[in-house]
Structure 1
């Protein structure tokens, strides 16, 4: 039996290239008046607004942060994984180093489902269903699947049920909406960004919205005008709206032929999300999911149309495969959420998408990613909005460890 001999967590922090800002940070990384569509309306410091605006504010980093997992076996096979770690990668790395590694040394890496259950259950009495612990499990799980497929000399998708498709359609995430009261130059920049997406061969894009109903409708309308009726546009509000606002905006999005309305409301409100799904014709997507039990409850409530698990925070390959199959049983599409991560996340997501019949589009941050192909000896290929599925053993990627470790944070 093969055994795990070392588990290493590598916290990564890479600076953006000059002039680049992650689009999520631009859209949701600061407090904004949820109900303000014009200058002079209440600010985020106005305590009369309910719900308070800070409830919808997320912490974003100005850098590209993640935690890479490297698992070494006694046979010499090395598996690579990735754990979502925005803002504080050393926290995830510390959990893996000081807690998870001790549960894995000496174990069989070719039994990833068993190891997943052992890890998940170990924190049952302390909170284990989401957050940093699930992030940690995710990266470990990806690395174990990588090892398992390498041991058999096959691409990872073979172990997930086979190759349903040899390439995966991706959309370009990276267009931030424009807030109300912005100068005309901001709308010129919006048009320029949309044109750039199309010029690079993409067939779809996703916009960051949640800046006010009228402001969002205007931004999406401008992008639709630039890209034309045959271009797919998705939007993500990151849970910034209440029910009346989401319904009002959703009716505008229907007219603009938007592919899905992602996270219009906070995900924990199953009842109101179900109202949105029943009322609007535009599909309702959600990426703020962390385990199959949460997804089961969302599906039973009727509050989700497009399920978006993230392999780096939703329990890795093991849990995401379960979620894809659960969604399929309810007749729902699934698509990997990627946001911003390294080429390891992209490769793992592509293998999952290649094997799952209810996969539709996959997210791809099209910005200049310092830990994308730059950390690979041979680049992943994306052509005309399609990611080619790697055909080598395991994840099918060759990590340039020197290139990766230049971004390593000491802890």
Structure 2
């Protein structure tokens, strides 16, 4: 009844890769395997992994995850982990629909009734921050996240640092004391710059400071944690429990795995459990589409140490489509007082408009990360 019959992928605007898994009985599960700027490569990985799944029982989710991640001598990395993530989400969607229950019920049942969400408000351009924050507050959100800066020199000037402080101060002024702002360093800062900046921001009490160093320098993050009282977060470019362990041991306060990069629901649940051992909260990265967001929320409803959820409604990347555009019914992902109420429909809890996805896939997308350079012509982190 739950034998996998067909697996399809769809590149759709603005920059997403959807995965559709269909069983012989007609149950359809959706996943999102988006890897920003590398989705065509992930698509090839999904096609190869499909060889391991077609003809097999969709309900053997853990076994499929083990084989997909370990069935080749060469393992890991964002491409394979994203491909596995999209397929894993789709399998959980099928399981929920098969048993007539939302995924969080299959994960042990709800531990909360609603999940707080935050929106993105810019930060690259100072003039935009106030207006963007005001719009998010008007939409009912109680928390926002902003980029600390645009391009940042390896050893920042006084003007560069003061510009960051001025933008965060403006954000705090608009938000007041009862709403939160998180500050994303986006891996654009060297350790030295991040350590200089943090004391200047402490008076504005950010919810957290995100990705103070690039993930390949995770061995340095403990030095930054020890230099500030601001909660430190990271994890959107970490893909497994093994990669999260060193930053958890280094003292981060918030772990940010991406459900479309870090092996899907199966692995992120395990990352959450590991984080709980270190008294660390979960706030999954999700500037992506509706399927990724629904997968995050399903984990959140069943995970005790879940802090807040990122979502991308109105984000500047979403040109050509927005988060809810592929949903047959927009109401499950509606915001109520800055929260999303518990999803109750079977599977991931949302219904994807199959026809609209297929129509959008005919146009596809070729989204790429920008390439930035310093004034001397050398490469700059985006």
The bucket for the TM-score relative to the shorter chain is: 0.7 to 0.9
CA contact (8 A) 1:271 1:303 kept: no
Offset of 1:166 from its aligned partner?
1.7
Deviates more, 1:276-285 or 1:169-178: 169-178
In structure 2, which of residues 170, 176, 184 is the aligned counterpart of residue 222 of structure 1? 170
1:270 and 2:218 matched: yes
Q: Residue 408 of structure 1 is aligned with which of 361, 364, 377? A: 361
Q: 1:352 aligns with which of 287, 294, 299?
A: 299
1:93 corresponding residue in structure 2: 43
- 2:347 aligned residue: 394
Q: Which residue of structure 2 lines up, in the alignment, with residue 317 of structure 1?
A: 265
Provide the C-alpha distance between the structure 2 equivalents of 1:139 and 1:220, rounded to a whole number of angstroms.
35
Matched, 1:243 2:202: no
Q: Which residue of 2 aligns with 1:336?
A: 284
| 2:121 counterpart SS class | strand
Secondary structure at 2:216 match in 1: coil
How far does residue 397 in structure 1 lie from its aligned partner after superposition?
1.3
Deviates more, 1:241-250 or 1:110-119: 241-250
Once the two structures are TM-superposed, the CA of residue 405 in structure 1 deviates from its matched residue by 2.0
Deviation at 1:388, TM superposition (A): 1.6
Aligned partners of 1:381, 1:315: CA distance in 2, in Å? 26
Equivalent residue number for residue 25 of structure 1: none
- Verify: 1:150 aligned to 2:89, yes or no: no
Deviations 1:239-277 (A, max 9, x none): 111222111111122111111000011123233210111
Map 1:85-124 → 2, pairs under 5 A: 85-97=35-47, 99-123=48-72
Partners of 1:10 and 1:94 lie apart in 2 by 12
Residue 362 in structure 1 maps to residue 309 in structure 2: yes
1:202 maps to which of 116, 131, 141: 141
1:44-68 CA distances to partner (integer Å, 9 max, x unpaired)? xxxxxxxxxxxxxxxxxxxx21111
Of 318, 326, 329, which aligns to 1:378?
Answer: 329
Q: Which piece of structure 1 moves more, 266-275 or 322-331?
A: 266-275
Aligned equivalent of 1:296, options 245, 262, 277: 245
How far 1:395 sits from its partner (Å)? 0.9
Which of residues 19, 22, 30 in structure 2 aligns to 1:69?
19
Aligned ranges 1:183-198 → 2 under 5 Å? 186-187=126-127, 189-198=128-137
Q: Counterparts of 1:400 and 1:161 in 2: how far apart (Å)? A: 29
CA distance in 2, matches of 1:385, 1:410: 34
Q: Unpaired segments of 5 or more residues in structure 2? A: 151-159, 365-382
CA RMSD of aligned residues (A): 1.6
> In the TM superposition, what is the alpha-carbon distance from 1:200 to its structure 2 partner?
1.1
Q: Which residue is equivalent to 2:4?
A: 4
Distance in 1 of aligned mates of 2:162 and 2:172: 15
- Specify the SS of the correspondent of 1:365: coil
SS of match in other structure, 1:84: coil
* CA–CA separation in structure 1 for the residues paired with 2:40 and 2:247: 32
Query: What TM-score do the two structures reach when normalised by structure 2?
Result: 0.87
Q: Within 1, Cα distance between the matches of 2:178 and 2:345? A: 35
TM-score for both structures, normalised by structure 1: 0.81
- Aligned-pair CA distance for 1:3: 1.1
The answer to whether the 8 Å contact 1:275/1:303 transfers is no
Corresponding residue pairs, total: 348
Aligned counterpart, 2:157: none
SS in 2 for 1:8: strand
Q: Report the 3-state secondary structure (helix = DSSP H, G, I; strand = E; otherwise coil) of the residue aligned with 1:407.
A: helix
| Residue number among 156, 162, 166 corresponding to 2:109 in the alignment | 162
8 A Cα contact 1:174 1:367, kept in partner: no
